[in-house]
């Protein structure tokens, strides 16, 4: 199995990056090992993605792991085929991003060694069928990401961001362990494919396990409302580290006024332990959630990843046949989901890399201090602009392709009931609003950072991003254009994984049904191709014209005393939107009022805080005070205090070890 050789290559590269002398040699060997591992993974996974039989390998380990089964199916192959290549691109980007440290005494090899371990954790998480081995891969990914986030550990804010991430990810780990304890106890095996039978049973314990898994994955992937660690970690981590979360978190993070908009993964690192049976109804009434469930999976892909054909090992109980309209909606939803994950990984990584290039050139991520970067960094401006258009799902770029398929499922005429149609229309309205807000945020970020003139003389860029950084951003730009130019081919990448998922549910997967997403997009495919061609030609024509023109100052309508203070700021650009939703958003204001007849200085500053995090800490603080007051009412001289604590502990332990009768 080539995947085993790829694992050895990553381990050898990580080891050499730690022990050899010279930062350039350490980084070069680590990147070389990633090139080898990525080539081996693609050679193994690509044939499976396009219909070859699944690959399987059995490893015999001593207790407590025991036999560890590795398996690659079409859905695993889909994630492997872009996770490792994008980690490789991130390592190449790091060669330019960490260039100032290459000649220093700092051990840069440790950073690249951790990037190798990140790729290794992807392989483990996507392929192992053993719950204990999976937890090892999960913890390896968490610790490697934490150490990568705190690269600039001298900064107290970065240390706090790393600590916040570490606490959140280990809360997720503990919940995952609890779910595995319940599932392993019920199935009497550590094999994850066998645990799927427990998840298919219609019991209260199964439902609670599902909620525990959802909470665990939500904490890991920063899924709303568990996203509070993400803004700090993204702003603290190097750009090539932040992009790793693209595969985990499809909707990015909230935009802060003092940061470049660094929407970005994921990973698909949260690969979804919940088996294919969780695509069935939780209460077994035979009716899935139709298109709403399909769209929900686009935001919670943990319900999709690592679906296994374990019906080869154990007989499958039959459930009632779903509605005839369900297969079409599921195909549209799953295809849009998988393609949307791939698209997000492409354009969000590009935005992260562009933001990292800005930071490396200006040494700040404060939008209010930037401006005029397009003149000095034209390539970075182009990359950021295309990534911005793609993330806003504007035609003809790749984000539009996947969202069009998802919307096709939401507005499908085959939704069986009026209630379902109303729910899907409500979801579509909400998603349209989110898209509009995303476009507003991106317009604000690009305009403030790249247009106008520098707002702070201390934050002026003097050169374009380094060559490795531009190379990585260029590859992602080509990825965006490739999906936009050949959308039907990109849609076909999800064909085999979707077919496997349908068969796992006992549904037929005929060719006409699998071709439905391509047929839904076909009427607009030629329009998007023509629009893309026009945009490219206009860009080339404009570039040719600009070469023959002379540079001159921007016309100021006859006013010659303009200053940077007269430009829009990020806060002023978004003020109308903020005022509209003032009841939802929370602002902190800091100001110094003028005093005396001749005041020396006065200032006012506003900061938009995360409302969820702020309210969460408020609730936790109130709850702590309530518990304290209740505990004070219990006399210390009576056994009531001990009895209350003992009963609580017994109930918690009983819940964890109880049988399936709960």
3-state DSSP helix/strand/coil percent for the chain, to nearest 5? 65, 5, 30
Q: pLDDT-derived band of residue 422, with 50, 70 and 90 as boundaries?
A: confident
Q: Which range has the worst mean pLDDT, 120-129, 495-504, 505-514?
A: 505-514
Q: What is the pLDDT of residue 598?
A: 81
Q: Locate the domains of the chain by residue range.
A: 282-506, 612-660
DSSP 553: P
The candidate with the shortest Cα–Cα distance to 169, out of 147, 150, 149, 143, is 143
- The answer to whether 16 and 53 have CB atoms below 8 angstroms apart is no
The candidate with the shortest Cα–Cα distance to 476, out of 365, 382, 594, is 382
Is residue 3 helix, strand or coil? helix
CA distance 53 to 72: 9
- The answer to whether 660 and 205 have CB atoms below 8 angstroms apart is yes
Q: What is the pLDDT of residue 258?
A: 37
pLDDT digits (tens, 9 = 90+) for 114-168: 999 999 999 999 998 888 888 888 889 888 888 888 888 888 888 888 888 888 8
Q: What is the pLDDT of residue 596?
A: 81
Per cent of the chain over pLDDT 70 is 78
The mean per-residue pLDDT over the stretch 68-73 comes to: 87
Q: What is the pLDDT of residue 283?
A: 31
CA distance 446 to 219: 30
The mean per-residue pLDDT over the stretch 88-117 comes to: 91
CA distance 341 to 399: 10
Largest CA distance in the chain: 91
Q: What is the pLDDT of residue 469?
A: 94
Instruction: Output 652 or 296, whichever has higher pLDDT.
Output: 652
Q: Counting Cβ atoms within 10 Å, is residue 106 exposed (0-12), middle (13-18) or buried (19+)?
A: middle
Q: Which range has the worst mean pLDDT, 92-96, 160-164, 311-315, 571-575?
A: 311-315
Residue in the structure block whose two tokens are 């921007």: 554
Q: Which range has the worst mean pLDDT, 321-325, 355-359, 475-479, 639-643?
A: 321-325
CA distance 458 to 388: 26
pLDDT above 60 for 584: yes
Q: What is the pLDDT of residue 261?
A: 34
Instruction: Output 300 or 87, whichever has higher pLDDT.
Output: 87
pTM (predicted TM-score)? 0.79
Q: What is the pLDDT of residue 185?
A: 80
The candidate with the shortest Cα–Cα distance to 251, out of 270, 264, 236, 238, is 264
The candidate with the shortest Cα–Cα distance to 343, out of 437, 250, 230, 224, is 250
pLDDT digits (tens, 9 = 90+) for 246-271: 544 433 333 333 333 333 333 343 33
Return the structure tokens found at 419.
């209630």
Q: What angle do CA 268, 269, 273 make, to 5 degrees?
A: 90
- For CA atoms 544, 545, 546, 549, the dihedral sign is positive
The mean per-residue pLDDT over the stretch 13-21 comes to: 91
pLDDT above 50 for 179: yes
Per cent of the chain over pLDDT 90 is 26
CA distance 509 to 293: 19
Return the structure tokens found at 393.
């799902």
- The answer to whether 213 and 236 have CB atoms below 8 angstroms apart is no
Q: What is the pLDDT of residue 204?
A: 83
Residues ≥6 apart with Cβ < 8 Å to 101:
23, 108
Q: Which range has the worst mean pLDDT, 70-74, 111-115, 228-232, 453-457?
A: 228-232
Residue in the structure block whose two tokens are 């860029």: 461
| H helices present in 392-494, as ranges | 398-410, 418-450, 467-485, 487-492
Return the structure tokens found at 233.
């970690």
Q: Counting Cβ atoms within 10 Å, is residue 62 exposed (0-12), middle (13-18) or buried (19+)?
A: exposed
- For CA atoms 419, 420, 426, 429, the dihedral sign is negative
Q: What is the pLDDT of residue 587?
A: 72
Give Cα 50 distance to the centre of its chain.
25
**Phi, psi (deg, nearest 5) at residue 63:** -60, 150
Q: Which range has the worst mean pLDDT, 55-59, 235-239, 344-348, 477-481?
A: 235-239
Q: pLDDT-derived band of residue 222, with 50, 70 and 90 as boundaries?
A: confident
Question: How far apart, in Å, do the first and last CA atoms of the chain sit?
Answer: 42
What are the DSSP calls for 435-455, one per residue?
A: HHHHHHHHHHHHHHHHSS--S
pLDDT above 80 for 307: no
């Amino acid at each position: 199995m080539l995947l085993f050789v790829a694992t050895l290559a990553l381990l050898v590269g990580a080891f050499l990056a730690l022990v050899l002398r010279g930062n350039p040699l350490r980084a070069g060997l680590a990147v070389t090992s990633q090139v080898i591992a990525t080539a081996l993974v693609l050679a193994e996974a690509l044939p499976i993605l396009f219909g070859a039989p699944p690959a399987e390998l059995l490893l015999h380990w001593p207790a407590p792991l025991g036999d560890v089964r590795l398996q690659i199916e079409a859905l695993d192959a889909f994630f492997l085929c872009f996770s490792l290549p994008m980690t490789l691109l991130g390592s190449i980007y790091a060669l330019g991003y960490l260039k100032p440290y290459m000649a220093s005494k700092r051990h840069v090899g440790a950073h690249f060694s951790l990037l190798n371990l990140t790729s290794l954790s992807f392989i483990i998480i996507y392929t192992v069928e053993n719950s204990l081995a999976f937890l090892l891969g999960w913890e390896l990914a968490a610790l490697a990401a934490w150490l990568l986030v705190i690269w600039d550990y001298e900064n107290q804010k970065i240390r706090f961001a790393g600590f916040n991430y570490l606490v959140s990810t280990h809360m997720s780990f503990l919940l995952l362990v609890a779910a595995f304890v319940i599932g392993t106890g019920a199935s009497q095996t550590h094999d994850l494919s066998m645990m799927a039978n427990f998840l298919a049973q219609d019991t209260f314990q199964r439902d609670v396990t599902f909620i525990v898994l959802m909470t665990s994955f939500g904490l890991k992937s920063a899924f709303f409302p568990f996203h509070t660690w993400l803004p700090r970690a993204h702003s603290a981590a190097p750009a090539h580290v932040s992009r790793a979360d693209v595969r985990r978190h499809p909707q990015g993070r909230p935009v802060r006024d003092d940061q470049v908009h660094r929407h970005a993964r994921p990973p698909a690192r949260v690969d979804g332990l919940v088996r294919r049976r969780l695509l069935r109804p939780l209460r077994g009434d035979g009716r899935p959630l139709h298109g709403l469930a399909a769209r929900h999976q686009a935001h919670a892909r943990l319900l999709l990843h690592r679906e296994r054909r374990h019906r080869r090992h154990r007989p499958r109980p039959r459930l009632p046949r779903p509605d005839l309209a369900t297969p079409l909606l599921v195909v549209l939803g799953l295809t849009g989901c998988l393609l949307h994950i791939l698209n997000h990984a492409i354009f969000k990584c590009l935005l992260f890399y562009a933001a990292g290039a800005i930071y490396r050139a200006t040494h700040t991520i404060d939008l209010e201090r930037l401006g005029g970067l397009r003149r000095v960094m034209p390539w970075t401006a182009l990359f950021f602009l295309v990534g911005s258009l793609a993330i806003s799902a504007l035609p003809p770029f790749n984000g539009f392709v996947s969202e069009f398929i998802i919307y096709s499922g939401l507005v499908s005429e085959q939704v069986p009931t009026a209630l379902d149609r109303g729910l899907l229309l409500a979801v579509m309205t909400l998603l349209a609003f989110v898209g509009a807000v995303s476009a507003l945020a991106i317009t604000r970020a690009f305009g403030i950072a790249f247009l106008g003139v520098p707002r702070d003389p201390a934050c002026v860029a003097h050169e374009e991003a380094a060559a490795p950084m531009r190379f990585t951003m260029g590859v992602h730009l080509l990825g965006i254009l490739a999906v936009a130019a050949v959308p039907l081919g990109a849609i076909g990448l999800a064909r085999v994984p979707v077919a496997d998922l349908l068969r796992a549910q006992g549904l037929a997967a005929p060719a006409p049904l699998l071709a439905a997403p391509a047929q839904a997009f076909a009427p607009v495919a030629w329009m998007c191709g023509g629009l893309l061609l026009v945009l490219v030609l206009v860009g080339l024509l404009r570039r040719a014209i600009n070469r023959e023109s002379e540079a001159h100052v921007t016309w100021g309508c006859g006013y010659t005393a303009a200053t940077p203070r007269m430009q829009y700021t990020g806060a002023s650009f978004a003020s109308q939107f903020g005022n509209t939703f003032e009841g939802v958003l929370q602002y902190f204001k800091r100001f110094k009022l003028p005093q005396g007849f001749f005041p020396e200085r006065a200032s006012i500053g506003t900061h938009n805080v995360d409302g969820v995090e702020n309210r969460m800490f408020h609730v936790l603080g109130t709850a702590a005070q309530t518990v304290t007051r209740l505990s004070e009412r219990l006399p210390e001289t009576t056994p009531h205090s001990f009895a209350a604590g003992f009963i609580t502990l017994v109930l918690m332990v009983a819940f964890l070890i109880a049988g399936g009768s709960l």
